[in-house]
Amino acid sequence: MPQPNLTDEIIKGILNEMGPSEPATKANVALACRRFLPLGRAALYHSISFQSDDPDSRDLEYVPAFLPVLTPASEALLDTLADNPRLGDLVRSISLDLLQVSRPHAAALIRTLLKNYCKKTEALEVAELAGCRPLDFEDTLEEHGKKLRSFTAESVVWGPGGFSQALGGMKKLESLTLIDSLDKWFSADTAGPRPTFRLKHLDINHHSLTNDVFDFLTRSSRRSLETLTLPPDLDFTVNLSLFKALRSMQYVYSGRSYSKNAQNDLKALAKCPTLQLLEIADDGSAGGKITGWEAWDLLGNLPPAVSHLYVGGLNLLSSYILKSLQNHAVAPTLSFIQLGKIIGGGRKGSGGVQRTVGEMRQIDQVAEARGLSVVWAGYE
């Protein structure tokens, strides 16, 4: 029976689709035959992760001073990289869960990996780092983060001045994700030099984002930033017209405070000439209900080049959606709208349901006449 012609590129594509959560499968592929060995090995070590162990759960007489307490699997991986330098050259992405790890130990681990074992690493993800002193962690990122193209910090506490210090060393950074990891010490007056990186992707999910921090992170990226995700409850209006390459934006608002700030931010979108994909979502507070013009005045203020609009997680009145589609001259490039759950506005009985369903049918008819594809999450 003839064997299928599986090129190396096809095999690589299959292995890449597995993601980092299936190391056993990749290892089996590497052991299947001599031809698959380099392909499976490259996929296996492309993305690696380390987890910290709870010191109280293990009976250790001695913990090396230069290493944190890692899980046995993570310690074995570190030993493997130390004994096989060529494997470290395959690593492109490292994820570190630093819960229970001291800052000096975290710095030692990152320094060991980036400087000695995995010199070609392009992406680093750090999670659960507590404390704010000493600044070994920030010093290490500044010194050894020069080759990073992607950096993610989740629940990381920065030392005084450490936020700007660490990012200042990442001169090749293209993607930055900050989840509950902004610097509470940050001040525009005391911050170090602005980063010189040219970000393409910025994702901030932190409740206390300020205009100073946002400007600090984006000043050097106004001509390169392509995707932007902002957190709810901003205390300032983002001037999106400054970003000349922005293609995709996610705006998360809080149901408790959706008012003037959110309206100003959404209206400002009309000044962003390159935006093609817009996603608006709520953070789940206050039931996420929007009624009236507040949500759907957006249709009259869409960017001129937008093609896809996603409005997710919201309870939307069918009557307002229909009225908006009938009354607003939407962007000529708009081709697809995905909506959250449709509600009937308190209508009860079979008559109320029929009226809402009728409006949903009219929405389809109006959208089709305008060349729009509209889908929604459901009906309540």
> Is the domain of 73 the same as that of 21?
no
Mean pLDDT, rounded, of the chain: 77
Based on the structure, what is the number of domains in the chain?
A: 2
The CATH code of the domain that includes 97 is 3.80.10.10
Q: Is residue 192 part of a domain?
A: yes
Q: Which of 225, 240, 265 is the last residue of a domain?
A: 225
The dihedral over CA atoms of 139, 145, 150, 156, expressed in degrees to the nearest 10, equals: -10
> Is the domain of 36 the same as that of 89?
no
Kindly tell me the sign of the dihedral angle through the C-alpha atoms of 297, 298, 302, 308.
Answer: negative
| pTM of full prediction above 0.85 | no
pLDDT band at 150 (very low <50, low <70, confident <90, very high): very high
Q: Is residue 276 part of a domain?
A: no
Output 46 or 189, whichever has higher pLDDT: 46
> Is the domain of 176 the same as that of 70?
yes
Compute the average pLDDT of residues 26-44: 73
pLDDT band at 190 (very low <50, low <70, confident <90, very high): low
Compute the average pLDDT of residues 282-308: 62
Q: Is residue 247 part of a domain?
A: no
> Is the domain of 142 the same as that of 90?
yes
Q: Is the pLDDT of residue 2 over 60?
A: no
Alpha carbons within 13 A on the beta-carbon side of 29: 20
> Is the domain of 18 the same as that of 158?
no
Task: Note the pLDDT of residue 200.
Answer: 95
Q: Which of 127-131, 224-228, 264-268 has the lowest mean pLDDT?
A: 264-268
> Is the domain of 95 the same as that of 165?
yes
**pLDDT digits 0-9 by tens, 99-108:** 777 888 888 8
Compute the average pLDDT of residues 75-101: 89
Task: Note the pLDDT of residue 206.
Answer: 77
Q: Which of 201, 225, 249 is the last residue of a domain?
A: 225
> Is the domain of 41 the same as that of 57?
no
Q: Is the pLDDT of residue 181 over 80?
A: yes
Q: Is residue 94 part of a domain?
A: yes
Task: Note the pLDDT of residue 91.
Answer: 93
**Pick from 26, 182, 155, 61: nearest CA to 100:** 155
3-state secondary structure the chain: CCCCCCCHHHHHHHHHHHCCCCHHHHHHHHHHCCCHHHHHHHHHHHEEEEEECCHHHCCCCCCCCCCCCECHHHHHHHHHHHHCHHHHCCCCEEEEECCCCCHHHHHHHHHHHHHHHCCCCCEEEEEEECCCCCCHHHHHHHHHCCCCCEEEEEEECCCCCHHHHHHHCCCCCCEEEEECCCCCCCCCCCCCCCCCCCCCEEEEECCCCCHHHHHHHHHHHCCCCCEEEECCCCCCCCCHHHCCCCCEEEEEECCCCCCHHHHHHHHHHHHCCCCCEEEEEECCHHHHECCCHHHHHHHHHCCCCCCEEEEECCEEEHHHHHHHHHHCCCCCCCCEEEEEEEECCCCCHHHHHHHHHHHHHHHHHHHHHCCCEEEEEEEC
Q: Is residue 249 part of a domain?
A: no
Q: Is the pLDDT of residue 253 over 60?
A: yes
Q: 51 - beta bridge partners?
A: 97
Output 353 or 367, whichever has higher pLDDT: 367
> Is the domain of 115 the same as that of 19?
no
Output 282 or 154, whichever has higher pLDDT: 154
Q: Is residue 87 part of a domain?
A: yes
> Is the domain of 70 the same as that of 109?
yes
**pLDDT digits 0-9 by tens, 43-63:** 788 889 998 876 554 444 444
Q: Is the pLDDT of residue 321 over 50?
A: yes
> Is the domain of 128 the same as that of 167?
yes
Q: Is residue 258 part of a domain?
A: no
CA–CA separation, 99 vs 34, rounded Å? 40
Most confident of 10-24, 187-201, 336-350: 187-201
Q: Is the pLDDT of residue 42 over 90?
A: no
Within 10 A of 299 (CB to CB), how many other CB atoms are there? Answer: 20
Q: Is residue 280 part of a domain?
A: no
Domain of 14? 1-45
Q: Which of 176, 196, 225 is the last residue of a domain?
A: 225
> Is the domain of 143 the same as that of 215?
yes
Task: Note the pLDDT of residue 256.
Answer: 46
> Is the domain of 1 the same as that of 109?
no
